[in-house]
Amino acid sequence: MKRSLMLSAIFIVAVGCTPNSIKPIRINPNDILNEKGVSASDKAEKLARAGETLATPNNFIFANDVLDMALRVDPNNKRAQFYKHIVAIPMVAKGSLKRIKPLTDRNQKSAAEYARVVENIKAGSIKDFLLDGQEDIKSEEDFQAHLDEYTKAVSNLRNWLKENKSLELTLYVNPNGYKTGGAWAAAIRNCAWSKVVYSESVYWYEPSDSSYEECAHNSQEYKINTADVEAMQYIASGMQIYSTILNSYSLSGAIDTAITFEGLSPSSQNVLNALMKQPNFAKVRDPKAMRSIIDMGIDAVAGARWAQKMQDSLCPHGESNPENRPGYIFADGLCVKTNDPKIEKALDNAEAALAGQSFITTVGNSNEHVATKVKPVALLAEPISDLKTLRPQIDDCGQLTSISDDTAGGLFPNGNVQDLLKITNKQCVRFDGYFYKIDNRENIN
Q: Residue 1: is its pLDDT beyond 70?
A: no
Are 13 and 174 spatial neighbours (Cβ–Cβ below 8 Å)? no
Q: What's the rounded Cα separation, in Å, for the pair 163 and 374?
A: 34
Question: How high is the pLDDT of residue 31?
Answer: 72
pLDDT tens column, 336-376: 888 889 999 999 999 999 999 999 988 877 777 888 999 99
pLDDT more than 70, % of the chain: 81
Domain ranges of the chain: 3-145+171-221, 356-445
Q: Which residues contact 128 (CB under 8 A, 6 or more apart)?
A: none
pLDDT given at position 182 = 43
What's the average model confidence in pLDDT over 46-69? 86
CB of 241 closer than 8 Å to CB of 296: yes
Mean pLDDT of 258-284: 93
Give, in order, the Cα–Cα distances in Å from 198 to each of 8, 207, 231: 11, 16, 43
305 compared with 19, residue with greater pLDDT:
305
Q: Which residues of 195-204 are buried (b: 16+ CB within 10 A; e: fewer)?
A: eeeeeeeebb
Q: What contacts 64, CB < 8 A, 6 or more positions away?
A: 51, 84, 87, 88, 91
Question: How confident is the prediction for the chain on average, in pLDDT?
Answer: 83
User: CA–CA separation, 55 vs 52, rounded Å?
Assistant: 5
Tell me the C-alpha distance between 295 and 1, whole Å.
43
- Residue 151, CA distances (Å) to 50, 89, 248 in order: 27, 9, 11
Residue 444: its pLDDT value, please? Answer: 37
What pLDDT does 323 receive? 94
Q: Are 331 and 322 within 8 A, CB to CB?
A: yes
Query: How far apart are the two ends of the chain, measured CA to CA in Å?
Result: 60
In whole angstroms, give the CA distance from residue 288 to residue 383. 9
Beta partners for 361? 372
Buried b (16+ CB within 10 A) or exposed e, 293-321: bbebbebbbebbebbbeebeebbeeeeee
Please give the average per-residue pLDDT across 380-406, as a whole number.
Answer: 94
Is pLDDT of 194 > 70? no
Q: Which pLDDT band, with edges at 50, 70 and 90, does 187 fall under?
A: very low
Question: Which of 415, 424, 389 is CA-nearest to residue 404?
Answer: 389
Distance in angstroms (rounded) separating the CA atoms of residues 7 and 225: 33
What is the structure's pLDDT at 175? 57
For residue 63, pLDDT beyond 50 = yes
391: left (phi over 0), alpha (psi -120 to 50) or beta: left
pLDDT of residue 197: 58
Task: Summarize pLDDT for 210-237 with one digit per residue, the tens.
Answer: 444 455 445 678 899 999 999 999 999 9
